[in-house]
Structure formats: structure tokens, C-alpha cells
Amino acid sequence: MSTAINNIEELALREYKYGFVTEIEEETVPPGLNEDIIRTISAKKNEPEWLLEWRLRAYRHWLTMEEPKWANVHYPPIDYQAIRYYAAPKRARRPKSLDEVDPEILRTYERLGIPLREQELLAGVAVDAVFDSVSVATTFKEKLAELGIIFCSFSEAVQEHPELVRKYLGSVVPYTDNFFATLNSAVFSDGSFCYVPKGVRCPMELSTYFRINARDTGQFERTLIIADEGAYVSYLEGCTAPIRDTNQLHAAVVELIALDNAEIKYSTVQNWYPGDKEGRGGIYNFVTKRGKCLGVNSKISWTQLETGSAITWKYPSCLLIGENSVGEFYSVAVTNNRQQADTGTKMIHIGKNTRSTIVSKGISAGHGQNTYRGMVKILKTADNARNYSQCDSLLIGDKCGAHTFPYLEVKNATARVEHEATTSKIGEDQLFYCQQRGISKEDAVNLIVSGFCKQVFKELPMEFAVEAQKLLSISLEGSVG
Amino acid sequence: MAASVKEAQDLWLDAFLEAEQRWRDTEPARLRKLRAEAWDRFRSLGFPTTKHEEWKYTNVAPLARTAFRTAEPAEPAAGVLPDSAVARLVFVNGRFEERLSSASWPAGVRAGSLRDLSLRAVVEERLGCYARFDQHPFVALNTALFEDGAVVEIARGAVVEQPLWIIHLAVPSGQPSACHPRVLVAAGEQSQASVIELYLSAGQGIFFTNAVTELAAAQDAIIEHYRIQQEALSAYHVATVQYHQGRGASILSHNVAFGAGLARNDVNSVLDGEGAECILNGLYVAGGEQLVDNHTALDHAQPHTSSREFYKGVLDGKATGVFNGKIMVRPGAQKTDAIQSNKNLLLSPEASINTKPQLEIYADDVRCTHGATVGQLDEEAIFYFRTRGIPRDTARELLTFAFAADVLGRMKVEPVREQLERELFRRLRPSGNRGEGA
């Protein structure tokens, strides 16, 4: 047992393998936040007047807000004036094709395991890659355009499809929504934009890869996905960052809109740098994600694997407005070492016959603190609403914590709401059973953990599910005692 | 009646100064100090607002605005006390009624008013040691203002067969009155007893009962505690029950809330010794415009402790129910075994429920689960009744009764269980505010 712990501790020291820095020339703005910075960002991106106005309104509102303190996470105060709100790889003009993208960046993505070119050819996954603040490459664009699907960087969408952006930007997460969403609204730099027209089923998985590279920058991306009537789209996002000994802020906003009979599937594999063993450095991942099931029979499904970040603070939510609309949330959150996660979902039932399912799996190891915080709200108008929630926590080691804070608010007597939660450690007898059959303890734990998470992983698209499985075993390596 | 908050505050200050004055010479120094600290704490906390997480769904603004005066002594009406209550302490408007209370007690029990000099030692040593008021304004208010209260001391090793009753009767007058009943139960090592607290009211008028009960069970004590609240709908009822359990101590707690326009109960236990076990059993039945809020907190402070919690709610009319159950497992409290369930039945389209089960776990070798459900009666079950010629209304009553009755089924004192079953049936019967009905 004790030798096992030693080996395990060695394993725990394994480095975060995406922690390298790419040496490229960066174009940045000075640190700090004021109206001039916002004007500069807006000017750099050649934005129309209305968008600048919108940013400024958000900024002015942000000044009146206080940073929220209710989450079950602890961190020293953030100095918002020390953050650089814009960093972009330097280049003369927008790349027309992948050949024009800085080879250094392409190499970075290769090291991260997403060879853009290869993906274009083989995997058939359309990738939008966001490097620090700007989108550097979008693959497969033409092919999508044939079907009328718009998939591009947010800045491009602002230039080329301003009517769509203007109509939907802030319609799900208004700029007054919360402290971090408001900050994002003021300074967001880039992100992905996707519009799937009526009746089109997007033939491939769309994907965005986010990477924070420059020091002291924050990443504030904004994603907007619209599925028009009868459309279907599956969207993946992945994230990494280099190792730094200071904390970096990531405050993104994701807005999804599903019209009549549309379906959006949004999957995240979040692996921002989690900080070292002592909790130095790492990304603060303060994200607002929300989907609006606006149309009848619409469906939004969130799947997430949260293994990275020093602190995760996010609640992908669904507003179930359309009749018979469906919201789903599948999550695996892992906290190891000194990581903290306060994550969950909100399901707001507004329309009749709306249904939601929540499956949340939390794994805490080391000194990790893992909190599920979720809300299920059934409004008076939501006749025959149905919710099922299940949150399970797995504890590995005696220094970690697992917490559950579900809020169920029911204002309609026809609602059926069920919530179940369990917390336990890996069963000694399960471990024993595996070991007795010659499976090493480490493998046995991996086996049990992946079984624990299976319900969520089966919701991920295939390529991601494989990656997620690997990521999970890396995150937990060395935590078995 | 409705006064400004300022005016109401002044009245609380008057009440405090009066209480401080009255007990200055007779109260032990520690209690005098406690009163002053509690008053300071209440002043700085103020009445909670719905921005306060613990009071998110319970708006006490109407209570805070009401100009309450300390309840005057009153004559109890005849026939309100249950016949089964033989060994009893009776309080009317917060004052001890010696004439109505038992003079003699079973072997091993000493009980009486906390002003009773023969109980002074236990009061001086333990009152206020368990119910903390630093975060809870109502506990602070009670600690600052209590007039009188019940003290029950159960000797080491005593096995008391007869249930011990503590009956609080509120007799409201023309103007809003407040009283702050206090209960202290100290159960010695290996003792066994049942303590029944009953809150009743007689007559009409607005009143506010702000009760605090402290119950400490020493090593291996086995205590069954009932808290039954049947006050009038004109009542505001706020109560905190704080248990403290030593090694191997077992508490079976029943909390029944039927009455009061606004009822808030906090039931907390600290499982402060290995092998301690706690069962929290609760039932709230509300109709009309009642608001009933139950907060429970189980603090597993030591390893090898277990808790079970079963709370059920039946909400009809425009009633609102709130449930918040917290299970806390402290670092190092390994082998904790905690199971919590909260089930709610909504009988009318206007009724609502906010439930928040909550786990906070800082140890790994534990088993903790919680479950919460909200639903309505099974239409198929009703249909089954109707195919057998039983009318819809009766079917609903029977099914609702069955839903609630399993909570009562855990009660061990038979007369109490039977009386509550009858009361439950009576409350389910008048289908005046049943909404869409048959």
C-alpha cells in the first residue's frame, strides 16, 4: 500500500503536457481596463458603431457591479487593471488559407493533438482555432457554406453577417447578466459564430479550440450558435493554456439559440492549466453558458468534461421556453491537487411539457473541492414539466471535499421533479475484486472511475469520448491511495 | 398594527431593557452577559431579508414591521391541554403555570421553570451553550429576551417510561404580542426518555412565538423528542431546535408543523461523538396562504456517526413550502453514513415548494445520499379507487393521508401518534381550498 502511494506520488508530479509557450510575436494592448482600451479593441477589429456602443454600455454597467462572492470557491482578489485585454499573433492581414497561418501556431496545435490539416482531411471535423484573443484558422469553411451553414470566427461574423449578430447577440445572456458576462461583453475579443439554416442537419461536428498563450492576458471569447427551424448541429470545444505561476482569467460567454424543432448539442472538454500541486498559477475559468430553447420541440444538450482550471465557475443553463422543448446537462468535473470547481446547471421550465435531465458526476482527489450547484425552476406556466436530476460524487483521499447544492423551485402542481445525489468513495470491495483478478490498483481505479463517468461520456461525440477518457485518467493519475 | 420597522425596533429595545432590568438581580452573571451579547448580535444582524441565503424563500418583512409587545400573562381556556399529558410543564404566554403543571416527576427526572432555584445549577452551566446566535437573528432575539422556560434534567442511567410534556400555550390579546419560549433538556449518560413539546394557541389575534430548544444527550443516551406546532393561522412561529449528541447518543426527532401563517423551524444536530446517531423525522401540512419553512442541519463532527432524515410535505391552497436540509461532514469524520430524503406533494395549482437538499463533505470514506421529489397524487391510483365506487375526494384524502402517515408511523409514543393521525385527517378533510377538486 505504501509503495503504491509512493509510485502514485511520482505520477502525480507529472507535468501538465500542454504547458508550453509558443514563441511568436504578439500584438497586445497595455494592461488595464478603461473606455479607451475598449475603443482600441473595437477599432482593431474594425467593428461597427452599434457594437462599440454595446461594449461601452456593458462596461459602464460593469463599473456599477460587484464581483459575486457566493460561489463555494476561494481565491485572492483579481486585479482587473493588471490584465491585458487583447493579445493577438502578429501578422499583416487575415490568413486566406492555412498556408498563410504562422507555422509556429500550426505546430502548437499539432502539439496539442489537433493537426488542423489532418483534421480537415481525415476526421472531417471543422475546426475554428482561437489563439489568445483571435481566431487563427477555420477549416472546412467552403464545404459548410455549400449547405448554407455559417461557421466562422466572431469577428468575421460581425463583418459579414452583422444582421444575424445584431439580432442574437446578448439575447440569451444580456450584457447586464452577471459580473463576468458583463466584463466579457465589454472586452470580448473573438470566438466562434455558427448559424445553421432552416432544415439543415450539419453533416460534421463543428469544433473550436481555445488556447491562452501570452502572459497576463485574459481570454474573453464569445460564442454564438443559432439553429434555425428544424436544424441540427453538434459543436465541440476544447481548451488549453501554458504553465504560468500567476493566475489568468478566462471569462467566456456562450449563447445558444434553438428555434422550432431545432437541436443543438454542445460538448466541452476543458483542460486549461490547473495550477501546480501547491495551487500556484492556473486559469480562473469563470464562464457563462446559456441556451434558449425558443421554439417548440427544440432541444439543447450540454455535455462537459471539466478537468482543468485552478477554479471553475460555470453553469451551462437551458431556458425551456418552447412547448415540448428539452434540456439536457451531462457533466464530469474533476478536481485534483488544489483545484476548485463550482459547477452545475440551471433548467428553467417556462413552456408546457418541457423536460430536462441532469446527470452530474463530480470526482475530487488531493485537496480538490468540487461543488455541484444546480437549479431546477418550474414556473407556473410550465404544465406537465418533468425533471430528473442525478448528481454523484466520488471522493479519492481524505483531504478533498464534495458538495451538492441543488435548488428545486416548483410553482406548478403538475410538475414532477426528482433529485438524487450520492457521495461515496471507491468501494474497497470493487478494488479488491479487480486486484484479485490481477488488475493493478491504478488500472482498477481508472476502470471504476470510467465506469462512474460512462453515463456522461456516452453523450460525447466519438473522437471526444476517447480524448475525454485519456484526459480523465491523466487528471487522476497519482491520486489513488 | 403595521408599524414602521424603526418603531418595531424600538419596541424590541424596550423589551430588552425591561428583561435586563427584571432579571438583573436574580440571573447568574453568565446569563446576564449572554443576554447582552445576544442583544448586540441581534442589533447588528437585524431581521433577515430574502437576500440572505438561509432566508431566500421566507420573507419575514411583515413580521419585522409588526409592533410586537411582550405577551401579557393570561388565563388559559379550559380543555385545551391533552388528557394524555400527565407529566407536564405548562407555559402560558411564555410564563410558567405552576397550577397546571405536574408537581411530581418520575424517578430520575427533575423538571421545572428555569427560574426554579433547584434547577439553577444546570441552567447556569448549560443554557445557551448549544444554540448559537452569531448567525441566526431569531436565536439572538430569543436569548436576549426570554422570560421563562422549561428545564428538564434526566439523571444518569434513568429510564423514564412516561413521556415528559412541555406545553406552550399562546393566548393572544387585542394587540400583537410576542413571546420567546426557551427549553433546555439535559439527558445524562445512558438515560432514556421521551420529551414532547407542544405549541398551541387559544383565541384570535396576531402573535409571534420565537422558540429555542436545546437538547443535549450525553454518552449512550436514547432520547425521543417531539415538536408539534398547532398554533392559529394568525401566528408567526419561528423556532430553533439544537441537539448535541455525545458518544453513542441516539436522538429520534419528530417535527410536525400544522399551524401558523408563517412557520419556520430550524432543527440542527451536532453528532459530536463516535457512534452517535440521529433520525430527523418531519411532516409539514399547509394550506390557505400558509408558509412553512423547515431548515435542518446535521453536523457530522466525529467519525462513525450516522443520520437519517425523512421530511415530507403536503401543500394545498396557496401554501408555500420550503425545505433546506444540510448534511455537513467535517474533515476526518470518516465512516459517516447519512441519508436524507424530502418528498413533497402539491395538491393545488397555486401551491409551491422550494427544496434544497445540500451536502458538504470534507472526508472521503463516507456514504451520503440525498433525494428530493416533488409530485402529485397518482391519477391511476385515484382511478383505481373510483372503479371501486370510492368518490374522488375520499380517494384523494386517503392517498394524501397515506403519503403523510408514514412519518407519523415512526413515532413511538402511541397516544401522540393517534392524536396526530386524527388531526391529520381533520386537516385533510375540509376541501374548501382544494383548487380544481373533483
Q: Quick one: closest CA in B to A396, which residue?
A: B364
Residue of A398, A408, A416 with shortest CB distance to B334: A398
Min Cα separation B340/chain A (Å) = 10
A411 contacts B364? CB cut-off 8 A: no
Can you give the pLDDT at residue B389? Answer: 93
Q: Quick one: closest CA in B to A397, which residue?
A: B364
A420 contacts B361? CB cut-off 8 A: no
A408 contacts B349? CB cut-off 8 A: no
Residue of A397, A409, A413 with shortest CB distance to B349: A413
Q: Quick one: closest CA in B to A404, which residue?
A: B359
B359 contacts A416? CB cut-off 8 A: no
Number of Cβ within 10 Å of residue B83's Cβ equals: 8
Q: Cβ neighbours of residue B360 under 8 Å, at least 6 residues apart? A: A401, A403, B326, B327, B328, B329
- What would the grid cell of residue A245 be? 505561476
Min Cα separation B177/chain A (Å) = 33
Min Cα separation A34/chain B (Å) = 31
Q: Quick one: closest CA in B to A371, which residue?
A: B360
Can you give the pLDDT at residue B80? Answer: 78
Rounded mean pLDDT, A328-345? 89
CB A85 within 8 A of CB A220: yes
A66 alpha-carbon distance from chain centroid: 24
Beta bridge partners of A209: A129, A238
Residues from chain B that touch A425, judged by Cβ atoms under 8 A, are: 364-366
Interface of A to B at Cβ within 8 Å reads 70, 380, 393, 395-425
Nearest-angstrom CA–CA distance, A287 and B169: 54
The reported pTM is 0.81
A410 contacts B372? CB cut-off 8 A: no
Nearest-angstrom CA–CA distance, A130 and A219: 10
Q: DSSP 3-state assignment of A304?
A: strand
Interface of B to A at Cβ within 8 Å reads 53, 57, 331-332, 334, 344, 346-376, 435
CB A116 within 8 A of CB A36: no
* pLDDT confidence bin for A479, thresholds 50/70/90: low
Could you give the ipTM of this predicted complex?
A: 0.71
Residue of A395, A406, A413 with shortest CB distance to B361: A395
Cell 485519456 maps to which residue?
Answer: A470
* pLDDT confidence bin for B437, thresholds 50/70/90: very low
pLDDT tens track for A393-435: 888 877 888 888 889 899 888 888 888 888 888 877 888 899 9
Beta bridge partners of A245: none
Terminal alpha carbon distance of chain B? 40
Number of Cβ within 10 Å of residue B385's Cβ equals: 17
CB A282 within 8 A of CB A317: no
Q: Quick one: closest CA in B to A377, which residue?
A: B354
H helix or E strand, kind and range, residue A204: none
Rounded mean pLDDT, A440-468? 80
H helix or E strand, kind and range, residue A133: none
Q: Which residue has the higher pLDDT, A225 or B72?
A: A225
Residues from chain B that touch A407, judged by Cβ atoms under 8 A, are: 354-356
Residue of B348, B366, B374 with shortest CB distance to A417: B374
Min Cα separation A424/chain B (Å) = 5
pLDDT tens track for A279-331: 777 788 888 999 999 999 999 999 988 887 888 888 999 999 999 999 999 99
Q: Quick one: closest CA in B to A71, which residue?
A: B53
